[in-house]
Amino acid sequence: MAYIKDGVGIIGVNALHHPNRQRFSAAHELAHHMLHASEISEAVHVDKGIRVLFRNDVSALGTEPMEIEANAFASELLIPGDLLAAALEGGGVDLEDEAAIEALARRFRVSPTAMRFRLTRW
* 10-residue mean pLDDT series, the chain (122 residues): 78 89 92 82 42 45 77 95 90 90 96 93 80
DSSP-derived letter for residue 17 is S
Contact 51, 42 (CB under 8 A): yes
Instruction: Please check whether residues 57 and 15 belong to one and the same domain.
Output: yes
Pairing of strands 44-46, 8-11: unpaired
Q: What is the structure's pLDDT at 63?
A: 61
Query: How far apart are the C-alpha atoms of 119 and 101, rounded to whole Å?
Result: 9
Q: What is the structure's pLDDT at 53?
A: 43
Q: Is 74 left (phi over 0), alpha (psi -120 to 50) or beta?
A: alpha
For 49, the domain range is 1-78
Instruction: Please check whether residues 71 and 31 belong to one and the same domain.
Output: yes
Instruction: Please check whether residues 73 and 49 belong to one and the same domain.
Output: yes
Instruction: Please check whether residues 74 and 85 belong to one and the same domain.
Output: no
Instruction: Please check whether residues 13 and 57 belong to one and the same domain.
Output: yes
How many domains does one find in the chain?
Answer: 2
Instruction: Please check whether residues 2 and 43 belong to one and the same domain.
Output: yes
Instruction: Please check whether residues 4 and 59 belong to one and the same domain.
Output: yes
